Amino acid sequence: MTQQAAKIGLLGAGTVGSSFLELLEQRSDVFAKPSGILVRDPNKARSASVVADKVTTDPEAVIAAADIVLELMGGTDLAGDLILTALAQGKRVVTANKAVLAERWQELRPYLAQGLLYFEAAVMAGTPVIGPLTGALRGSSPLELHAILNGTCNYILSQLELGVTYQEALKEAQRLGYAEADPSLDVEGFDAAHKLTILARLAFDPDIAWESVKARTRGISQLTPAIIKEAMEDGGRVRLVGSVYPQDGAWQVEVCPVYLPAAHPLAAEASNRNGLVFYGDAVGQVFIAGAGAGALPTASAVLADTIAALAARPGPSLLPAAVPVPLDYQAEKLGEIA
């Protein structure tokens, strides 16, 4: 008797979706095939892996035909509604969409609690952070976390260090597939804030509100070449960093450009790489780094989540309650660029 390939419904076949399909084609060990592929423009030229007779503009048909659903379209409105539709039909959903997780967390929460949603690709692309923060690192109480979470900003800042202009660097980040469809989400810090909100909820407090993080977010669009040069002359680098740390009896969550001395672990991360430094009471300092944006690294995490979803292994688990804020702990102070 021949085994039927699992049916995967793809919502979106752009940078990440088409790369996922290419990767899936190469993996004879993953017994799954696309059953429907939602796009906005069915007449656009696409790679051969985006099987033409599966392409449609009907999202409901894609969801209905699928065993599991992959949301790779982006945005918070339609994408969020379709994720909820699929989950309500009892389908496991894999997503790379940090915006929808940050902004529609409360609606998604019952399904997150059941382990039906998978989102390793949403933060630091193929570099694993959701897994460690909701797994191995749960054995320690978190004390603070600092992370470079946006590949586009990191790429632009690295290019500014080489004398490339801001506009040229942004254009190249878009060409390389790092930037969001609306790149102001990257350069104004909101994409990093979306990701930081997810990490903060998973490791520190499940009730952290998106609006409170958004209000404490600054991006890189106001940085001048002179600021970058001055940091380099001082032996360090400017990076966009998201931080969670205890202060005044509460967890503080913020994103801003900071000065990092050369010896800081995050200072070495250039181009599209991201990095995360976690401090836990028992484990001490843990540093995770790797590609944070781009088609293949993101597709890698989407495929890993797809494999987990097909095997019905539960997605990342939520904290039952906020971790108590340590009262006499002195957090690392990063030098915010004014």
Which residues lie near ligand HSE (CB under 6 A)? 125, 150-152, 178-180, 186, 191, 292-293
In the bound state, the residue with its beta carbon closest to ligand HSE is 152
Pick what 16 binds: ligand HSE, ligand NAP, none; C-beta below 5 to 8 Å, kind-dependent.
Answer: ligand NAP
What is the maximum span of the chain, computed from C-alpha positions, in angstroms?
A: 68
**261, 235 Cβ separation under 8 angstroms:** yes
End-to-end Cα, the chain, rounded Å: 67
Pick what 72 binds: ligand NAP, ligand HSE, none; C-beta below 5 to 8 Å, kind-dependent.
Answer: ligand NAP
Nearer Cβ to ligand NAP (185/228): 185
Strands of 68-71's sheet in order across: 55-56, 32-38, 6-11, 68-71, 92-95, 117-118
For residues 65-94, which are near ligand NAP according to CB under 6 A?
72-74, 78
Q: What per-residue string of b and e applies to 7-40 under the rule 16 or more CB within 10 Å gives b?
A: bbbbbbbbbbbbbbbbbbeeeeebebebbbbbbe
**12, 69 Cβ separation under 8 angstroms:** no
Q: Give the one residue of 9, 14, 242, 246 binding ligand NAP; rule: CB under 6 A.
A: 14
Instruction: Report CA torsion sign: 120, 121, 122, 125.
Output: positive
Q: Give the one residue of 54, 62, 83, 97 binding ligand NAP; rule: CB under 6 A.
A: 97
Amino acid, res. 199: L
Report the nearest approach of ligand NAP to the CB of residue 155 (Å).
11
Stretch of 6-14, 84-92, 275-283, 316-324 contacting ligand NAP, by CB under 6 A? 6-14
Nearer Cβ to ligand NAP (96/240): 96
Nearer Cβ to ligand NAP (40/313): 40
Report the nearest approach of ligand NAP to the CB of residue 39 (Å).
4
For residues 334 and 218, give the distance between their C-alpha atoms in angstroms, rounded to a whole number: 14
Stretch of 11-19, 60-68, 137-145, 253-261 contacting ligand NAP, by CB under 6 A? 11-19
Pick what 253 binds: ligand HSE, ligand NAP, none; C-beta below 5 to 8 Å, kind-dependent.
Answer: none
Pick what 40 binds: ligand HSE, ligand NAP, none; C-beta below 5 to 8 Å, kind-dependent.
Answer: ligand NAP
Phi, psi dihedral angles at 181 (to 5 degrees): -55, -40
Out of 54, 91, 98, 195, pick the active-site residue: 195
Pick what 157 binds: ligand HSE, ligand NAP, none; C-beta below 5 to 8 Å, kind-dependent.
Answer: none
**244 half-sphere exposure, CB direction, 13 A CA radius:** 30
Report the nearest approach of ligand NAP to the CB of residue 78 (Å).
5
Nearer Cβ to ligand NAP (38/157): 38
Chain mean position to CA 282? 26
Name the one residue in this structure whose structure tokens are 């906020």: 322
The answer to whether residue 195 is catalytic is yes
The size of the interface with ligand NAP (CB under 6 A), counted in residues, is 26
**123, 98 Cβ separation under 8 angstroms:** yes
**Which spans in 130-219 are helix H?**
130-134, 151-161, 166-175, 184-187, 190-203, 210-214
**161, 308 Cβ separation under 8 angstroms:** no
Report the nearest approach of ligand HSE to the CB of residue 18 (Å).
15
Binding stretches for ligand NAP (CB under 6 A): 12-17, 38-41, 44, 72-74, 78, 96-97, 121, 125, 177-178, 180-181, 293-294, 298
Catalogue the active-site residues: 195
